[in-house]
Amino acid sequence: MGEDLEKLKQRLSLLDYLRQQNWIARPAGRGSEFVGLCPLHPETRPSFYVNVHKNLFYCHGCGQGGDLLRFVQLFRQLSFRQSLAYLEQYRAAAADPAAVLEKAATFYQQQRDRYPEARCYLKQRGLHDPVLIKEMRIGYAPGGSLRRYLTAQGYSSDLLQHLGLLNRKSHDAFYRRIIFPCCQEGRVINLYGRSIAAAFVHRFLPGSKGGLYAWEQVRQCPEVILVEGLFDYAVLWQAGFRHLTCSLGTHLNRYQFRQLCDRPRTVYLTFDVDINGSGQQASQRLAHQLQVQGIAARRVLLPEGHDPNSFFVQGGDAGQFQALLEAALP
Ligand SMILES: [Zn+2]
């Protein structure tokens, strides 16, 4: 056990773990040290140091210090043995998170047709093509059943919490949400959950949303339509537009931006035209950034107050959308 423990501790980076807990740090001094606010006691000036080479921490404020195992004991208030079990799970999840997310995605997919509220919501958002629903692997999280399903398969609550599938109280994190798996190179790397109740904002699991949605299918296209939401993507797909991708929000991460710029192409930015103008501001900013990289950007102007989804749900058709594409602003 002593040997395994040493191996486990060597393989896990304290800094990576802290960052995954949203610890914010800056390099201190000679490069192998980082400093930030102490996660173990309240403070306003950073006194918590991590030495990357030694894989150790020390806080000058509260005087606590040690290795990752010690940190987990203090931070999560676990015994030595519990901390060890916790880190084993952490390592397993870190080794292959996609395998667990794949299981979750499949489970949610299986729930979709069992719950009338899910069918009803999809219909209300204009999604009716069973081929598309299957292709996008759209699922439904009723809430309260994923935990049982995955723990029965041997996944611990700790591991599922690491991935964000369960919340801190160990309940299903997604509750009454339509689920879209986000994939990269054929593996599920995140899940997007859209609440079927208006009151709750959409959300992802912690971690990267990855690249542009279904990018492999369109990267060869000289013209690409970019939308900000998956419901927008879905209705355009149903209307016959296939040179289509989605950034999952108006802010593109660096990876997504690089994808758009990887060869000469024209990008039709089709963001929401909301009353407060935020979608169009984002669209203008992105158009400018793309043009700087030599990419032709056109801004598609939907009628005021619309996104592509509402445009089609409220009776817009492919011909009308095509006219908007042709009228898009440089
Ligand atoms: Zn401290």
CATH of the domain at 199: 3.90.980.10
Measured in Å, residue 8 CA sits from the centre of ligand 1 at 25
Q: Which of 94, 123, 146 is the last residue of a domain?
A: 94
CATH of the domain at 39: 3.90.580.10
CATH of the domain at 282: 3.40.1360.10
- Give Cα separations from 25 to 38, 56, 58, 206 (angstroms): 10, 15, 14, 19
Tell me: do 160 and 197 sit in the same domain: yes
Q: Average pLDDT, stretch 252-258?
A: 93
**Structural domains counted in the chain:** 3
Residue 187: phi and psi, rounded to 5, are: -115, 145
Domain-embedded: residue 209: no
Helix (H, G, I), strand (E, B) or coil at 11: helix
Tell me: do 7 and 90 sit in the same domain: yes
Tell me: do 85 and 109 sit in the same domain: no
Domain-embedded: residue 290: yes
Q: Is pLDDT above 60 for 1?
A: no
The candidate with the shortest Cα–Cα distance to 193, out of 213, 206, 178, 182, is 178
Predicted model pTM: 0.75
Domain-embedded: residue 296: yes
Domain-embedded: residue 210: no
Measured in Å, residue 43 CA sits from the centre of ligand 1 at 8
Q: Average pLDDT, stretch 72-76?
A: 94
Q: Is pLDDT above 70 for 2?
A: no
**Which pLDDT band holds residue 227 (cuts at 50, 70, 90)?**
very high
Measured in Å, residue 83 CA sits from the centre of ligand 1 at 19
Domain-embedded: residue 245: yes
- Identity of the amino acid at 134: K
Tell me: do 320 and 243 sit in the same domain: yes
Domain-embedded: residue 88: yes
Q: Average pLDDT, stretch 268-294?
A: 93
Q: Which of 48, 74, 94 is the last residue of a domain?
A: 94
**Which pLDDT band holds residue 236 (cuts at 50, 70, 90)?**
very high
Q: Which of 78, 94, 110 is the last residue of a domain?
A: 94
Measured in Å, residue 193 CA sits from the centre of ligand 1 at 36
The 10s digit of each residue's pLDDT in 22-41 is 788 899 977 789 999 999 99
Tell me: do 307 and 237 sit in the same domain: yes
Planar angle of CA 106, 113, 191, nearest 5 degrees: 35
Tell me: do 230 and 261 sit in the same domain: yes
Measured in Å, residue 34 CA sits from the centre of ligand 1 at 14
Q: Average pLDDT, stretch 240-248?
A: 97
Lowest mean pLDDT among 57-61, 208-212, 297-301: 208-212
In the 8-state DSSP scheme, what is residue 131? Answer: H
The candidate with the shortest Cα–Cα distance to 10, out of 64, 61, 53, 72, is 53
What six digits make up the tokens of 95? 């080794």
Tell me: do 150 and 68 sit in the same domain: no
Tell me: do 130 and 197 sit in the same domain: yes
Tell me: do 105 and 198 sit in the same domain: yes
**Which pLDDT band holds residue 6 (cuts at 50, 70, 90)?**
confident
Q: Which domain holds residue 258?
A: 215-326
Domain-embedded: residue 81: yes
Measured in Å, residue 168 CA sits from the centre of ligand 1 at 23
Measured in Å, residue 31 CA sits from the centre of ligand 1 at 21
Measured in Å, residue 211 CA sits from the centre of ligand 1 at 37
Domain-embedded: residue 284: yes
- d(Cα 110, Cα 182) in Å, to the nearest integer? 17
Tell me: do 174 and 225 sit in the same domain: no
- Give Cα separations from 224 to 59, 217, 295, 328 (angstroms): 51, 11, 11, 13
Predicted local confidence at residue 154, as pLDDT: 66
Measured in Å, residue 12 CA sits from the centre of ligand 1 at 21
Cα torsion angle, 251, 254, 259, 264, sign: positive
Helix (H, G, I), strand (E, B) or coil at 202: coil
Where residue 29 falls (left for φ over 0; alpha for ψ -120 to 50; beta otherwise) is left
The 10s digit of each residue's pLDDT in 76-119 is 899 999 998 888 877 777 778 888 999 999 999 999 999 999 99
| Ion ligand 1: residues, Cβ under 5 Å | 38, 40-41, 59, 61-62
- d(Cα 285, Cα 298) in Å, to the nearest integer? 12
Tell me: do 322 and 223 sit in the same domain: yes
- d(Cα 322, Cα 324) in Å, to the nearest integer? 5
CB 179 within 8 A of CB 141: yes
User: What percent of the chain lies above the pLDDT cut of 70?
Assistant: 98
Predicted local confidence at residue 20, as pLDDT: 72
Tell me: do 153 and 255 sit in the same domain: no
Lowest mean pLDDT among 7-16, 161-170, 190-199: 7-16
H-helix or E-strand containing 268?
strand 266-270
Predicted local confidence at residue 40, as pLDDT: 96
Lowest mean pLDDT among 53-62, 148-157, 212-221: 148-157
3-state DSSP helix/strand/coil % of the chain, to nearest 5: 40, 20, 40
Measured in Å, residue 255 CA sits from the centre of ligand 1 at 35
